[in-house]
Amino acid sequence: MTEEQPGKGQGFGFGLGKMKELREAFSKAQQVQQGAQELQQKLEQMEIEGQSENGLVKVVLSGNQEPRRVDIAPEAMEQEAQALSELVTAAMKDAYTKSSETMRTRMEELTNGLQLPGM
pLDDT at residue 119, as a whole number: 44
The residue ranges of every structural domain in the chain are 17-111
Question: The sheet that has 57-61: what strands, in order across it?
Answer: 48-51, 57-61, 67-72
pLDDT at residue 71, as a whole number: 97
Question: 2-6, 12-16, 35-39, 57-61: which has the highest mean pLDDT?
Answer: 57-61
Residue 14 has pLDDT above 60, yes or no: no
Query: CA–CA distance from 27 to each of 12, 20, 38, 86, 118 (Å)?
Result: 22, 11, 17, 48, 18
Reported pTM: 0.68
Give phi and psi for 8, each to the nearest 5. -65, 130
**In whole angstroms, what is the distance from residue 26 CA to residue 111 CA?**
14
The band of 16, judged by pLDDT with boundaries at 50, 70 and 90, is low
Pick the CATH number of 17-111 from 3.40.50.720, 3.90.1200.10, 3.30.1310.10, 1.20.1560.10: 3.30.1310.10
- Of 24 and 85, the one with more pLDDT: 85
Average pLDDT, the chain: 83
